[in-house]
Structure 1
Amino acid sequence: MNKLLIIAFALFAVISIVRCSDSDEVLEKVKSKHLRKYLTDRREDVDSGLEKLEKHCPGVSEKLKSALVSFQECDDKADDSLTLCSAIQVYTLNCTAPLLKVVDDCLPDSAKGLPSLGVKSILSVADYLCKQTGESIFELGNPCLWEDLEESNEQLDECEEKVKNFAKKHKETIPSKTEICSTATSLRTCVQTRATTTCKNQKTKNVALGVFDALVAPCSHINEV
């Protein structure tokens, strides 16, 4: 398996948003059978967004084809002797740069930099997890973090309402980095409340908060502006 396959999966959302006019030609350039299958299964969604995207961002199809080729060429050059953790840190930003630029160029000025912010968040979480013990990583699957999420809790209900309001506000618009970071970091209390209320082991609480803090870490310099 290619070292950067995990990053290819992380870019599914990016590729799904950046629709292409000639999906067959683009799919032929995707060597990863997993990524190709994902895109093929969603071809109807990909093709249905063509007209809207081309009106908003003329010429994006050709740019996407070129970006996919560049991504694959970069992936092919990845050092197979590296561990997955090392490969992700060494190659991700460079290999995803062409794809991120295609998306970024299509965004309004207020939302420029969002693709890069997303990848940096993924890298931050990967870096955090790669430094943890196997036990800590397994704790992320601890039922205490996920069971009974539907049960009412006043503080958690407020958090859920905050997310819903944010999504509703930006239903027709793309939020800025500042708006996303401000909302995301404000949800730390929600994660902390969930972990503290339902989980009794400190290690479980620590790793849950650790992942969240890593996820929003790239927002630190944005929130300070």
Structure 2
Amino acid sequence: MNGELFPRERTEIVPGAVHVPDWLGPGRQRELLAACRVWARPPAGLRTVRTPGGGTMTARQVCLGLHWYPYAYARTVVDGDGAPVKPMPGWLAQLGRDAVAAAYGEGVAVPPYDIALINFYDGDSRMGMHRDAEEKSPAPVVSLSLGDTCVFRFGNTDNRGRPYRDVQLCSGDLFVFGGPARLAYHGVPKVLPGTGPRGLGLSGRLNITLRVSGLDLPGG
């Protein structure tokens, strides 16, 4: 409950987009944070993402399974140290399937999750409105939050502007979007520093995004 007087409720933001507060308990959050710290080490570790226009993303990123760079996937860190991307752990892929069941209910068939994008936000980091459109699979995107609370802006499938809805994602929260919301624009306009659980030991915010690629890249 993160100290709230009343528990936060599962909410369907728009059809196909579901927020499940406090889905990860404190112990599972600590385990996931410890794993993220291992994945962030080089080679193929945490990096600054540079856009084709010459800018940089303020959130730093590490990938598992396949390496994302603007705007494609590769099996090596083509925009970094060139090392092979770290593998996607089976337990993390299963966590993605469990998350879909928690959001949509049991019985929803989902292919194995084979990509994780892990973004680290400090207090000044942002993420502009964008779509997760480089995958061929229509499987739902799973988003897990650790550390500081953020304002998560979930929009529409037509443009980066309104209508959109702002949702506060706290440490342990789950957000799943698929179906008619799979290609909705979304972003993080603000991180709220110092709002993470004291016992977690994380300054800043980690977002673990799980995706199904549907891709058949050379070298696989």
Per the TM superposition, whether the score is higher than 0.5 is no
TM-score by length of 1: 0.26
TM-score by length of 2: 0.26
- Of structures 1 and 2, the one with the larger relative CO (CA 8 A, separation 6+) is 2
Higher CA-based Rg: 1
Going by fraction, where is strand more abundant, 1 or 2? 2
